[in-house]
Amino acid sequence: MFWRNDLTTLRKENTGRIADMGEEMWEQLYPALQYLSTRQLSLFDRELIKSELIGIAEEAEIQGARLDRKMGMPYQAFCDFLIEKRGIRKKSSIGEQLLETGTCFIWWLTFFAVVNLIQNDNAVRSNEILAALVAAMAVVLLGDHMFEYRGRLSVDQKKWRIQIGVMVVCFFVLAAVTSRYPIAIPLTAGRWIVIGILLVASVLLLLIRNWYWNSRSKQYNWKSE
């Protein structure tokens, strides 16, 4: 699929494996995944360590052992051990989040522009730009977690709720501004040129996104593990 890359593939694998896990083992694994979500890691590195933790939990479940005994140390120390063993350095995921958000934003903006042209509306309005931005943020912040592990969130839920709260506040502020000061960007002069530019930008960003995540994957020979 055009939208898929090694990060989305790894996330899907993790989702399927942990969804099949028994409730008792999930309750033992969740604190470790919650701690992992607070570490300053790239999105792919986090999923990679998560995959290792899931594998250890699966082994413990088969053996009928407790996860903490299988780890042989507190889960915080064990997570840090896995990170150090991989040689993973601390890295902020803000740039990666912006890449994901930017890609989704351009795709949604292109969608609204095409819909407007179909309806013979030769302008893109500020409320549509706001809708594209909110949709992109929702996909990045909510998309993976809404359906993750069939309702089993593996993130620090307090931090996640704060992010959702900030997004909601930003939405209402921007909605108030755009309703008071509406802006319409006309497409009459070269509407097909604008649509063409948006389509090219959408495809280009998606290709860059896929190349980035696939190149991160090759650093660890993930597919051969």
The domain locations on the chain are 6-91, 94-218
Indicate whether 195 pLDDT > 70: yes
pTM of the model: 0.72
Taking Cα atoms as reference points, which of 28, 18, 36 lies closest to residue 69?
28
| 110 and 195 Cβ atoms separated by less than 8 Å | yes
> Hey, is 154 helix, strand or coil?
coil
How many Cβ atoms sit within 10 Å of the Cβ of residue 42?
Answer: 19
Taking Cα atoms as reference points, which of 105, 100, 122 lies closest to residue 113?
122
* 216 backbone dihedrals φ, ψ, rounded to 5°: -65, -40
- pLDDT tens digits, 152-186: 565 555 666 676 677 677 777 767 776 676 666 66
Q: Per CATH, the architecture of 6-91 is what? A: Orthogonal Bundle (1.10)
Instruction: Tell me what pLDDT residue 54 has.
Output: 93
Question: How far apart, in whole angstroms, are the C-alpha atoms of residue 39 and residue 53?
Answer: 15
Give the CA radius of gyration of the chain. Answer: 21
Q: What is the mean pLDDT of residues 114-133?
A: 74
Tell me which of 35-44, 119-128, 140-149 is least confident: 140-149
Hunting for tokens 């890295």 — which residue is that? Answer: 91
